[in-house]
Amino acid sequence: MTRRFQGLPGISSQDELRAHVLAKGCFDAAENERIYKKWFTRARPRDHLWAYLDQRFGITEGTVCDVGCAYGMTLVDCPPGSYGIELEEYQCKFGRSIGLHILQKDVIHDSWADVPKVDTLWCAATLEHVDAPHVFLRRLYYLLKPGGRLILEVPHAMPASWMRHVRPLRYLYSDHDDHINSFSATALERMCERAGFARQASIRYSTPLVGRQVPVWLTGLPLVRTLAESQVYVGHAVPDWEYPKKATRRAADNPNGYTWRSMFGDREGE
């Protein structure tokens, strides 16, 4: 069961959370209200997903890093020692103003030297925006404690080309203007496997149906799967993971997450 409000001592109800956000938010009253209504009411489909996954996997029983945390809404439920990573200064500023621990960092380019390792990495609606997803995943590997858990939520690619001719399905699977990566469950699992993770679960769900109070698990069943345009990967970091023996990469805790070696070694012309 979700351990609610662990991230904000003294808050024990949704009404208290609203009052806290409106009083402590660093922007004017109208902007604080807008942010609260859009991000902190727990009414979004992703909020229902978070609650479902927390109940199933016990996310908030350990420390959490929310990668791409925006204003920090999931951090409200996370225990002491948890934190968010966010690129946008505006969102970092607001989250910090209401008492959440948010680091403004670029996952691929910034150092982890001052960043503590956690039990679970939560990364929702982010990987589809990333220029170099493999490097991104390799960097996340080094934020986890040995055997720590990675939870990724991404859009699912349109399952069949004929769906493009059905207007409601085309709308459902349409990409955000900033999405540059597309995923299927198999492709996402393979990407994570080659970044040092072993799959625990793969979940499809429909944001429109979940937004209408349909349970997350129900929207992934075969009869409604066509509407399940989002997917979740749950895996754990394989301790001391290494690339396959013949790979040109070797695992390393550096800005790429690996070092490169020539497949030819000292040989030429092979």
**212-247 confidence digits (pLDDT tens):** 999 999 998 888 877 788 899 999 999 999 999 999
Intra-chain end-to-end CA distance of the chain, in Å:
58
**198-208 confidence digits (pLDDT tens):** 999 999 998 88
62 assigned to some structural domain: yes
63 assigned to some structural domain: yes
Give how many domains the chain has, as a whole number: 1
Domain of residue 68 covers 14-260
What integer pLDDT is reported at residue 222 of this predicted model? 85
- At 196, which CATH number? 3.40.50.150
265 assigned to some structural domain: no
Which amino acid, 120? T
For residue 48, what are the contacts with CB-CB under 8 A and spacing of at least 6?
Answer: 210, 211, 216
Q: Please, which pLDDT band fits residue 164 given cuts at 50, 70 and 90?
A: confident
269 assigned to some structural domain: no
**62-89 confidence digits (pLDDT tens):** 999 999 999 999 999 999 999 999 999 9
Q: Please, which pLDDT band fits residue 178 given cuts at 50, 70 and 90?
A: confident
Tokens of 18: 């609203």
What integer pLDDT is reported at residue 270 of this predicted model? 44
Q: Please, which pLDDT band fits residue 101 given cuts at 50, 70 and 90?
A: very high
216 assigned to some structural domain: yes
DSSP readout, the chain?
A: ---TTTTSTT--SHHHHHHHHHHH-SS-HHHHHHHHHHHSSS-SHHHHHHHHHHHHH-GGGS-EEEET-TTTGGGGGSPTT-EEEES-HHHHHHHHHTT--EEE--TTTS--TT---EEEEEEES-GGG-S-HHHHHHHHHTTEEEEEEEEEEEEBPPS-GGGGGSHHHHHHTPPPTT----B-HHHHHHHHHTTTEEEEEEEEE-HHHHTTT--HHHHTSGGGGGG--EEEEEEEEPTT----TT-SEEE-SSTTSEEE--SSTT----
What integer pLDDT is reported at residue 110 of this predicted model? 94
162 assigned to some structural domain: yes
270 assigned to some structural domain: no
22 assigned to some structural domain: yes
